[in-house]
Amino acid sequence: MTAQPRLIAFIGAGNMTQSIVAGMVQNGYPANYITVSNPSLGKLERLQQQFGVNINQDNIVAACNADVVVLAVKPQRMAAVCQQLQTNLPNLADKLIISIAAGIRLAKYQDYLGASRIIRVMPNTPSLVGQGMTGLVKLAATTAADGEFATSIFDRVGKTLWLDDEDQMDILSALAGSGPAYFFEFMAGLQKAAVSLGFNADQARILVNQTALGAAAMASVSELELADLRAQVTSKGGSTAKGIEVYQAADIDFISEQALRAAVLRNQEMAKLF
Ligand X SMILES: NC(=O)c1ccc[n+]([C@@H]2O[C@H](COP(=O)([O-])OP(=O)(O)OC[C@H]3O[C@@H](n4cnc5c(N)ncnc54)[C@H](OP(=O)(O)O)[C@@H]3O)[C@@H](O)[C@H]2O)c1
Q: Report 56-85 residues binding ligand X (CB under 6 A).
A: 59, 72-75, 77, 81
Distances (CA, A) of 168 to 43, 49, 190: 33, 38, 32
Of the candidates 1, 2, 15, 192, which one interacts with ligand X according to CB under 6 A?
Answer: 15
Residue nearer to ligand X on the CB measure, 182 or 199 = 182
Residue nearer to ligand X on the CB measure, 9 or 204 = 9
Applying CB under 6 A, the site for ligand X has a residue count of 27
Report d(CA 71, CA 53) in Å as an integer: 17
Does 12 interact with ligand X (rule: CB under 6 A)?
Answer: yes
CB atoms within 10 A of CB 136: 21
Q: Provide, rounded to whole angstroms, the least separation between the CB of residue 37 and ligand X.
A: 6
Does 101 interact with ligand X (rule: CB under 6 A)?
Answer: yes
| H or E segment and range at residue 189 | helix 179-196
Report d(CA 125, CA 131) in Å as an integer: 9
Q: Provide, rounded to whole angstroms, the least separation between the CB of residue 206 and ligand X.
A: 25
Q: Provide, rounded to whole angstroms, the least separation between the CB of residue 236 and ligand X.
A: 41
**Concatenated DSSP letters of 137-175:** EE-TTS-HHHHHHHHHHHGGGEEEEE-S-TTHHHHHIII
Report which residue's Cβ sits closest to ligand X.
Answer: 14
Q: Decide if 182 contacts 129 (C-beta within 8 A).
A: no
Does 160 interact with ligand X (rule: CB under 6 A)?
Answer: no
| String marking each residue 40-59 x if it binds ligand X according to CB under 6 A | x--x---------------x
Does 147 interact with ligand X (rule: CB under 6 A)?
Answer: no
Query: In 3D, which of 29, 246, 33 has the Cα closest to residue 154?
Result: 29
Residues that bind ligand X (CB under 6 A): 11-17, 37-40, 43, 59, 72-75, 77, 81, 100-102, 122-125, 177
